[in-house]
Amino acid sequence: MQKLALTLLLAFMTARLFSQSIDDVKKYAILQKWEDAKTNVDKFLSVEKNTKNAEGWYYKGYIYAELAKLPNYAGTNTRMQAFEAFKKYQELDPKNEMMKENQNGEFFGLYNAYFDDGVAKYNSKNYGDAFTDFKNALMVEGYIKSKNYSYKSFSFPALDTQLTQNTALAAYLNKDSANAAAYYQKLADAKVVGENFTDIYQFLVEYFNAKNDIANRDKYLGIAKELYPKNSNWEDYEWKFAGNDPQKKDNVLAEYPNSYSLYYNYAAELFNELYTSEKKPDDYIAKQNKLDSITLKAIRIDNARPEGNLLMARHLLNEVYDMEDAYSAIKGTKPDDVKKKNDLMTKINSTYDQVGLKYAKAAYDTYNAMTTMKPYEKGNYKVAVNLLLGYWEYKKDAAKVKEFQDKMKSQD
């Protein structure tokens, strides 16, 4: 997107005059009396036979383009009328005699004017009018490209990415999502890539998802993944779009087997469903097993991240509570009952050891080594300390209990 330096010369044809009326049009144009020139050219073209006069349309385009620069014509469609008049002239004069000597600079001038006005309105935060001017600049540019015109060796690119992006952005800032999407699509369909274009694909994915247009949503998500394969936003979108469908979630996990955040977030979802809901899910045991495998996968992906270890410790502790409930429910004294209780106690102790000696300890060690912590990390650290305090109380280790009691007090 750029402004062109133009030197326009009014092409006055003197070979023949069509009528006194066109002479008046030329006279007032020479004198730059634009209102009088407008009156005369409008009068001239209001006569049916003159509507076939190419020169009349050229002068209308020239005069209206000048009028559009005046303050009292701001906000009117005068410049667009000039554009249409120039096109009408070329339609009536296939040889383009009045414009070719100036390299069709009249059209480049209209582009410049629309562009300049759009920039000024954008900078003054008048985004609605800026959008209109940028859109019209693109329209004029499109016509110029369709004719393969160039001016002083300058030609517009096949896709004016910067102007198209600014047109979309002006619409977006004017809360006109439909037009923003329409212009962003032009860029996305061309697969423009670069640091400044990532937001285009995010906008389109979110826009079409909100419209429930799954085909377009997935189309632009696919292009985004192709162009920016290392951007983690795409996996987040896919996870969101999977909803509550376990199979879709498993498909996303399979596509991103090394994504710690996906595995951890899924584990957190399962944990909340299992242990924070008022009612246990019907497939409680199956989901516990799923949580177990998903959390272990997250830990394997990045064991340096303490959240996975902490979540595993909390999950196993809930399994301990379940086993303790099962232990208490066995009231009989028969050999089978005694064996069941002994087996359960062995498993309780073994599981609790994993909590205290492995997962909670790993999380605690990581947090304890931090020199600074964010608020959520401080909260997690306190949970890890409390888990270890509970473990050593269970083990009746007075020294360790005292150590972690002191740690708890230091967090208050």
The tens digit of pLDDT for each residue in 244-292 reads 999 999 999 999 999 999 999 999 999 999 999 889 999 999 999 999 9
How many angstroms separate the CA atoms of 318 and 331, rounded?
22
Contact between 308 and 295 under an 8 Å Cβ cutoff? The reply is: yes
Provide the pLDDT for residue 21: 76
Look up tokens 């809360």; give the residue.
Answer: 175
CA angle 267, 271, 274 (to 5 degrees): 135
Note the Cα 249 to chain centre separation in Å. 22
pLDDT at 3: 53
DSSP character string of 152-206: TTB---SS-HHHHHHHHHHHHHTT-HHHHHHHHHHHHHTT--SGGGHHHHHHHHH
- 388-408 as b/e: b if 16+ CB within 10 A: bbbbbebeeeeebbeebeebe
Tell me how long the chain is: 412
- Which regions in the chain score pLDDT beneath 70? 1-20
Contact 233, 261 (CB under 8 A): no
- How far is residue 134's CA from residue 227's CA, in Å, rounded to a whole number? 27
Assess contact for 400 and 392: CB atoms under 8 A: yes
The DSSP letter of residue 149 is -
Percentages (nearest 5) of helix, strand, coil residues in the chain: 75, 0, 25
**Per-residue pLDDT, 19:** 44
Fold classification of 1-156 is 1.25.40
**C-alpha span between 192 and 187 (Å, rounded):** 6
Q: Is the pTM of this model over 0.75?
A: yes
Q: Give me Rg for the CA atoms of the chain.
A: 37
Distance CA 81, CA 92 (A): 16
User: How many alpha carbons lie under 13 Å from residue 209 in its C-beta half-sphere?
Assistant: 15
Q: CA-to-CA distance for 41 and 60, rounded, in angstroms?
A: 6
Burial 250-285 (b: 16+ CB within 10 A, else e): eebbeebeebbbbbbbbbbebbeebeeeeeeeeeee
The 3-state DSSP class for residue 13 equals coil
pLDDT digits (tens, 9 = 90+) for 369-380: 999 999 999 999
For the chain, the average pLDDT equals 93
Q: Strand, helix or coil at 151?
A: strand
Q: What gap in Å lies between CA 362 and CA 49, rounded to an integer?
A: 92
* Closest among 205, 248, 208 to 224, alpha carbons compared: 205
Q: Is 218 exposed, middle or buried (0-12, 13-18, 19+ CB in 10 A)?
A: middle
The Cα 224–Cα 238 span in angstroms is 12
**CA neighbor of 361 nearest in space, from 320, 318, 306:** 306
Specify the pLDDT at position 4: 55
Q: Could you tell me the residue ranges of all domains in the chain?
A: 1-156, 171-231
User: Rounded CA gap, 155 and 400, in Å?
Assistant: 78
Cα-based distances in Å from 51 to 2, 55, 56, 386: 35, 10, 8, 90
Residue ranges of alpha helices (H) inside 276-305 are 284-301
